[in-house]
Amino acid sequence: MSDETSYYEAIGGHEAFAQLARVFYQQVAQDELMRPMYPEADLGPAEERLRMFLEQYWGGPTTYHEQRGHPRLRMRHAPFAVTPRMRDHWVAHMRVAVDSLQLSPELEQPLWEYLERAASFMVNTFDEDAPHRPNLLS
């Protein structure tokens, strides 16, 4: 990656982030712990929001901000009981998604480190029995 190339471009631009979000939500769709966080039948809108957020974060289009404003990740996830176990499921599914990109170690490392930190930052309760709250992300 050169100084003139954004990370977004270096890993493959829109196609890479679309694949990352798609593979992640394919995993979520099969997860008995995480799937209830998305009561809607179609995970497409959640997939699109994740893709747009990550694209913007890594130097791509600012569509997320234009459509949804500031990310405010903790606030947007506050309605959910994000437990350490939930984080671990999220990280496991994201691991599959990142691996699907087949990035070089130099490109994978910053992405993976960010995703792990972000997942831990979202934990808002250590009560593993905390009830799921309604989806307010839309």
CATH of domain 14-122: 1.10.490.10
Report the predicted TM-score, pTM, of the whole model to 2 decimal places.
0.82
pLDDT at 69 over 50: yes
Closest among 122, 121, 103 to 58, alpha carbons compared: 103
Q: Give the end-to-end CA distance of the chain in Å, rounded to a whole number.
A: 35
Domain ranges of the chain: 14-122
Query: In the predicted model, is pLDDT for residue 92 greater than 90?
Result: yes
Q: What are the tens digits of pLDDT across the range 11-68?
A: 999 999 999 999 999 999 999 988 888 878 889 999 999 999 999 999 998 877 655 5
Separation between Cα atoms, residue 123 and residue 43, nearest integer Å: 22
Cα separation, 126 vs 120, whole angstroms: 12
**DSSP one-letter code for 36:** G
